[in-house]
Structure 1
């Protein structure tokens, strides 16, 4: 199901096509490389010898304009890519990074993403056409937290709902493990340690809910409820045990409704984690 109308999806698909045409015209003026050849420190494209600088600039502006028109396409389809040390990135909006030193993108990334986006939009258009006569309200997983949808999107559009949930759950854990440099521990233990009470210790940064530690989840009743920080720990650990572990270690398929409910829970967790502050041990912060 999708809550994007047929007209919007067609216009977005057309915008991606315009971006692809503009990109292909511009790339003809460029010498292409890749991450291996650039050794991770050089651009992955540069102007070919003998090119007219005025022509290159005009074609470059055409790509920039087309990328602006297609800017929502990656967010709608979830076709982000993960770049080590940076996180999830939108290759269409950030195509110009190829011309920068230490370029995180190569021409192949742009072409693959563009083709992927077009395929996903066509699948979403097919779904929209199939449900256009329905009066029931719809829910779009593409509007979930970008880390969650980035992990789920490829499998969701193929109707592999269990795998979509598993990849979204693992993607959130990988995202924070990389950010905190904690690839030394299993997933459940990672959340238990990272969201536990107390100060950070050497090699084990903490995610801390902002504000006073005594803040409660509700203050309208005597004594309030559990502290927010403690509740967040329980939420992260509980989802890992009841959702991630189940979708990883069993082959029981999920319905679309069941999968949406689980993705929504992880999206809420991801939004809460984004509000947390990272606290590091003194020696870690200095590294």
Structure 2
């Protein structure tokens, strides 16, 4: 998985990216407020001008500073655009939003090419930059909506076992398959911990968290601490009930029902699996009389 793919699914990064794009948009809009637009000047001059005059307009920058704008003000406005544009210059690689230019085979990065509107023979227009900026914001917000389905807690914050198994399908929006892979990973992990390769998936949790004493070839996973302690006893009962509930209400439906899950419902199931994986990580393996 590339760094770019990781950023596309990182809700914190995406929220910051939207903010940074808006800061660029504000800086660029502030620059334009200082400008005359060459296209407007040409339209005001009329279309009956000699060819050499029309050619002169074509060679001008798309925008030029108004006469009452000082050099210091102009330089400062461009510096703000350069600074804010630099923060987001990598985003076209993530969003795919670029500007197509007539006569050029390669599209333009709007956050790098904005400066050309202030240069002779401008190859993009201010409207191109603003439209690409808004499009970028829309694409990033859409990405954030898909991955940030659990508020401040994202799917990437799930237990590594769960997210590692679900990540590939989640990123292509196969949410049912992501949950199926995650529950399978937890079952396989518990099977490996207890050495019960002989068990079907449906029996792994009931055997691992069984309240009966462990025996040869059938160890149990137990919450650490004195078994007579009320909290420890409660956790051991809860682990059995919670894990078998996951088996019945999460694993079985995604295996037998091919209906696709909405992202929110899938995230809730991953959260339950993440909690179980965390509890399993805290458990000890009880072999009975044998050493753990």
**TM-score normalized by the length of structure 1:** 0.50
Q: Distance in 1 between matches of 2:247 and 2:177?
A: 15
Whether contact under 8 Å (1:161, 1:253) holds in the other structure is yes
Residue 194 of structure 1 corresponds to 208
Is 1:3 equivalent to 2:41 in the alignment?
Answer: no
SS in structure 1 at match of 2:198 = coil
In structure 2, the CA distance between the partners of 1:273 and 1:128, relative to structure 1 (3 Å rule), is farther
Choose the corresponding residue for 1:243, options 235, 238, 250: 250
Structure of greater Rg: 2
The residue correspondences of 1:168-207 to structure 2 (distance < 5 A) are 168-207=182-221
SS in structure 2 at match of 1:175 = helix
Q: Distance in 2 between matches of 1:179 and 1:127?
A: 43
The residue correspondences of 1:96-111 to structure 2 (distance < 5 A) are none
Following superposition, the deviation at residue 8 of structure 1 comes to 7.8
In structure 2, the CA distance between the partners of 1:7 and 1:228, relative to structure 1 (3 Å rule), is closer
Residue 150 of structure 1 corresponds to 164
Following superposition, the deviation at residue 189 of structure 1 comes to 1.7
SS in structure 2 at match of 1:203 = coil
SS in structure 2 at match of 1:152 = helix
Choose the corresponding residue for 2:225, options 211, 218, 243: 211
Following superposition, the deviation at residue 130 of structure 1 comes to 3.2
In structure 2, the CA distance between the partners of 1:127 and 1:174, relative to structure 1 (3 Å rule), is farther
Following superposition, the deviation at residue 128 of structure 1 comes to 4.0
Q: Distance in 2 between matches of 1:165 and 1:228?
A: 25
Whether contact under 8 Å (2:14, 2:143) holds in the other structure is no
The structure where helix makes up a greater share of residues is 2
Following superposition, the deviation at residue 247 of structure 1 comes to 0.2
SS in structure 1 at match of 2:11 = coil
Q: Distance in 2 between matches of 1:151 and 1:126?
A: 29
Q: Distance in 2 between matches of 1:281 and 1:126?
A: 58
**TM-score normalized by the length of structure 2:** 0.49
SS in structure 1 at match of 2:242 = helix
Residue 128 of structure 2 corresponds to none
1:223-280 per-residue CA deviation (whole Å, 9 max, x = no partner) reads xxx8221111000001011101100111011100000000001111111111111112
1:146-204 per-residue CA deviation (whole Å, 9 max, x = no partner) reads 10111100000010000000110010110121222111112232211111123311111
Q: Distance in 2 between matches of 1:235 and 1:172?
A: 13
Is 1:130 equivalent to 2:137 in the alignment?
Answer: no
1:36-93 per-residue CA deviation (whole Å, 9 max, x = no partner) reads xxxxxxxxxxxxxxxxxxxxxxxxxxxxxxxxxxxxxxxxxxxxxxxxxxxxxxxxxx
Where structure 1 has 5 or more consecutive residues not aligned to the other structure, the ranges are 10-124, 219-225
Whether contact under 8 Å (2:190, 2:204) holds in the other structure is no
Choose the corresponding residue for 1:233, options 228, 236, 240: 240
Following superposition, the deviation at residue 212 of structure 1 comes to 2.4
Residue 164 of structure 1 corresponds to 178
Following superposition, the deviation at residue 282 of structure 1 comes to 4.8
Is 1:255 equivalent to 2:262 in the alignment?
Answer: yes
The residue correspondences of 1:50-89 to structure 2 (distance < 5 A) are none
1:102-142 per-residue CA deviation (whole Å, 9 max, x = no partner) reads xxxxxxxxxxxxxxxxxxxxxxx997453569x99454111
Whether contact under 8 Å (1:206, 1:280) holds in the other structure is yes
SS in structure 2 at match of 1:253 = coil
Residue 154 of structure 2 corresponds to 140
Where structure 2 has 5 or more consecutive residues not aligned to the other structure, the ranges are 1-8, 18-136
Output the aligned Cα RMSD. 3.3
In structure 2, the CA distance between the partners of 1:200 and 1:156, relative to structure 1 (3 Å rule), is same
